[in-house]
Structure 1
Amino acid sequence: MGDRNRRPHRPGRLDRSEVVVSSIDQYNPAPTTEVPERFENPGLEENLPRLTDADSGARKRAERLVLILFTLSILASIGAVVGYFAIPLDNTLGNVRLSTLVLGLGLGIGFFGIGAAAIHWAKAVMFYYERIELRHPTESDPETKQVAAQMMIDGVNESGIARRPVLKGAIAGAAALAPLPILVPLIGNLGDDWDVSKFKHTIWGETPEGTYGTLPDGSRGRRLARDPEDTPIKASDVTIGSVFHVIPQGLNDEEDFYEEKAKSVVLLVRVDPRVLKERPERADWSYDGIVAYSKICTHVGCPVALYEQQTHHLLCPCHQSTFDVTDEAKVVFGPAKRPLPQLPIAVDDEGYLVARSDFTEPIGPSYWERLK
């Protein structure tokens, strides 16, 4: 069994069994075997021919597979672009998911097809052998440069690109179309509204019919609703340690649903009122230990949705910014530079949680028109 798994001995290469490392120890101070001063360069291993080198049929099949992979990449890229225009991005959650799925699959399959085709071409179609090129520390002479240029020309010829126009066209088409699923949506959004002042206000301050509750002083407040069910939340339903993902009630009926939701999402938490650290001017922003903060991280806008019940910390999963719920969501760790904006809340005459007003500061990360 041992001889069967043993590699054949090649001329010029020392067998491991022939090399004995000298050692000196306390029992045998003299070396047991003399070590050669240098080992001869064994050279490159013998280049074994591939099936595609000896069989023209196998070579043709390999070329067809490469062509199929490039074609698959082209079709996937085209499909992603068509899907972007064909699937409407309305308030239907299914359409958003389908559009995202089509774009993702188009990008993934498109780039995978290019990579797989390039690897298979190199392994099965291109001329395959190992070559050694010595590096020189100084500039080469003109003759050496000419040899290097000729080697590059030979490499292009050996790849077979010039002799295979169909594959050459497939490469060009796949490489040209693969970036389109990224570029087309990007270019298509260049004409959108870039008015950053809209981030200073959300629909929490609006109270259309059927979405508000009445406070004891007679004012209106938009009700807090579960996301995505859009059902209002009673204060009695929020127990200590519980967390609710919140949206303004009636948000699903808004025309600009996704834009408004991106600004209005809130995380609602209830803690023991005795551990809250509130400034006097914010004493009425919470209700019996229930506090509400924007879910949009003040670093780069990721959703802050991980709550550590024991430490009362909110964690952003993107860059680990950490906010203390009991201390006005101040930053205790990470790259964020300011606390999460707090949504002032109260309870209406029916026991539902409502927003007393909009956020008192812009939500999300800092941008060029803000001082901090």
Structure 2
Amino acid sequence: MGEQGYGGTQRPSDALEHAGDRTSRYAIDNPGLPPHRPRLADEDPKAAKRAERQVSVLFLISIVGTLLFFIGYFGVGQIGNNEGFDVIHLQNVLLGVGTALAMFGIGIGIVHWAKTLMPDHEMAEDRHEIRTEADRQVAAGMVQDIIDESQIKRRPLLRNTMIGAMLLAPLPFIAVFRDLDDTDNFSDKETENFGVERFRHTMWAEGVRLVRDPTGAPIKASDVTLGSAVHVIPEGLNELHEGKLNEKAKAVVLLMRLDPAKVNISPGRENWNVDGIFAYSKVCTHVGCPIALYEQHTHHLLCPCHQSTFDLTQECKVIFGPASHALPQLPIAVNDEGFLVAQSDFHEPVGPVYWERG
């Protein structure tokens, strides 16, 4: 009974004899490229024209999306300086939908263009180094072939709508990043750091009472029990008619009480708390999310967006997560009536640390 091999029954001597030419015996011939199957647009000029119009419509959608972004960014937000939630909701919808349409139109338009109008023949070429002038001319010819195959020269509707969409699409991002720089509002050259002064100063000042958010009720030291956490805003914030949300976004504070013996207090901050009542900014130093989770047993503050964790016993030092800076502390005291008041504003800018804090 013979032994089984790749070619059926064979003797061991046969396997050894033909081991050297196994590649030639069992190699598969190169099948070559599959036959090209023409698309509808390759054979029907009407289909090609229809595809061209479809791609142009997608590019026009991108242009409309960019215009919607600008309407929301520069138009809706300026209506009578109204910062009501309805206006903010409308603005966010226009910004989101506009950006999505701008990117969607360009992306899908280019893909549809490539799949319906650009040549789709498969090619196989050997790779070689470009050294001689003749080779460079060949490379230049290849680039010209690509331009010709894209049909961008003989389809002006595609070319013009694509150029318009691509020129407008980056403008929303330029507007957003440009708006971060508020240096024109400050004469001091040291403030030329992406508008850091906006975050260095809040409504907190000496004698400003701490009130509950959102009721505005003032807080006495006796109201803050051990282990509790109170959301706090500066008195007078609710009475603002303009800029209320902007001021609140900077000035919101978490007020907590714990055993002062458990807190490692830095020199110079000994009188920043009132019998273990500490006030810290609610604005996460990662990307500015509101911190609202307080673990009473561990004395940790947790940001719900990216899980940055701050240790209250170490002056809200970061112990986990992407944040790299402790939460700014608000110095507080008690006035003659027993209400908690601020000693001053924050001693450093609130918010994310990508603004200069020098």
C-alpha distance in 1 between matches for 2:216 and 2:15: 84
Q: Which residue of 1 aligns with 2:147?
A: 156
Using the TM superposition, give the Cα deviation of residue 153 of structure 1 relative to its aligned residue in structure 2, in angstroms: 1.6
C-alpha distance in 2 between matches for 1:300 and 1:29: 74
Percent of residue pairs identical: 46
C-alpha distance in 2 between matches for 1:152 and 1:324: 59
What amino acid maps onto 2:91 in structure 1?
Answer: S
C-alpha distance in 1 between matches for 2:276 and 2:155: 73
- The correspondence of residues 137-152 of structure 1 with structure 2, limited to 5 A, is 138-152=129-143
C-alpha distance in 2 between matches for 1:245 and 1:121: 54
Query: Do the aligned partners of 2:64 and 2:101 also contact (CA within 8 Å) in 1?
Result: no
**Alpha-carbon spacing, 1:70–1:299, altered in 2? closer, same or farther (3 Å):** closer
C-alpha distance in 1 between matches for 2:112 and 2:6: 43
Task: Tell me whether 1:74 sits opposite 2:63 in the alignment.
Answer: yes
Using the TM superposition, give the Cα deviation of residue 73 of structure 1 relative to its aligned residue in structure 2, in angstroms: 0.7
**Alpha-carbon spacing, 1:133–1:250, altered in 2? closer, same or farther (3 Å):** farther
C-alpha distance in 2 between matches for 1:198 and 1:155: 51
Residue aligned with 1:292, SS: strand
Query: Do the aligned partners of 2:76 and 2:87 also contact (CA within 8 Å) in 1?
Result: yes
Question: Which residue, out of 18, 40, 47, partners 1:51?
Answer: 40
Using the TM superposition, give the Cα deviation of residue 314 of structure 1 relative to its aligned residue in structure 2, in angstroms: 2.4
Task: Tell me whether 1:97 sits opposite 2:89 in the alignment.
Answer: yes
What amino acid maps onto 2:244 in structure 1?
Answer: F
**Alpha-carbon spacing, 1:234–1:64, altered in 2? closer, same or farther (3 Å):** farther
Using the TM superposition, give the Cα deviation of residue 75 of structure 1 relative to its aligned residue in structure 2, in angstroms: 1.1
Task: Tell me whether 1:85 sits opposite 2:74 in the alignment.
Answer: yes
What amino acid maps onto 1:245 in structure 2?
Answer: H
Question: Which residue, out of 306, 326, 333, partners 1:339?
Answer: 326
Query: Do the aligned partners of 2:229 and 2:254 also contact (CA within 8 Å) in 1?
Result: yes
C-alpha distance in 1 between matches for 2:13 and 2:208: 93
Using the TM superposition, give the Cα deviation of residue 337 of structure 1 relative to its aligned residue in structure 2, in angstroms: 6.1
What amino acid maps onto 2:247 in structure 1?
Answer: E
Question: Which residue, out of 138, 162, 173, partners 1:171?
Answer: 162
Using the TM superposition, give the Cα deviation of residue 140 of structure 1 relative to its aligned residue in structure 2, in angstroms: 3.5
Question: Which residue, out of 254, 258, 261, partners 1:267?
Answer: 254
Q: Which runs of 5+ in 2 are unaligned?
A: none
Using the TM superposition, give the Cα deviation of residue 29 of structure 1 relative to its aligned residue in structure 2, in angstroms: 12
Using the TM superposition, give the Cα deviation of residue 128 of structure 1 relative to its aligned residue in structure 2, in angstroms: 1.1
C-alpha distance in 1 between matches for 2:101 and 2:146: 29
**Alpha-carbon spacing, 1:222–1:188, altered in 2? closer, same or farther (3 Å):** same
C-alpha distance in 2 between matches for 1:66 and 1:198: 44
**Alpha-carbon spacing, 1:348–1:151, altered in 2? closer, same or farther (3 Å):** same
Q: Which residue of 2 aligns with 1:10?
A: none
Query: Do the aligned partners of 2:208 and 2:234 also contact (CA within 8 Å) in 1?
Result: no
Q: Which residue of 1 aligns with 2:311?
A: 324
C-alpha distance in 2 between matches for 1:239 and 1:21: 83
Across the aligned residues of Structure 1 and Structure 2, the Cα RMSD in angstroms comes to 3.8
TM norm structure 1: 0.72
Using the TM superposition, give the Cα deviation of residue 86 of structure 1 relative to its aligned residue in structure 2, in angstroms: 1.9
C-alpha distance in 1 between matches for 2:94 and 2:312: 39
**Alpha-carbon spacing, 1:43–1:58, altered in 2? closer, same or farther (3 Å):** same
Residue aligned with 1:36, SS: helix
TM norm structure 2: 0.75
Residue aligned with 2:152, SS: coil
Paired residues in the alignment total: 330
Q: Which residue of 1 aligns with 2:205?
A: 205
Q: Which residue of 2 aligns with 1:183?
A: 174
What amino acid maps onto 1:47 in structure 2?
Answer: H
Q: Which residue of 2 aligns with 1:126?
A: 118
Q: Which runs of 5+ in 1 are unaligned?
A: 1-19, 23-27, 207-219
Query: Do the aligned partners of 1:302 and 1:316 also contact (CA within 8 Å) in 2?
Result: yes
C-alpha distance in 1 between matches for 2:255 and 2:114: 56
Query: Do the aligned partners of 1:321 and 1:336 also contact (CA within 8 Å) in 2?
Result: yes
Task: Tell me whether 1:357 sits opposite 2:349 in the alignment.
Answer: no
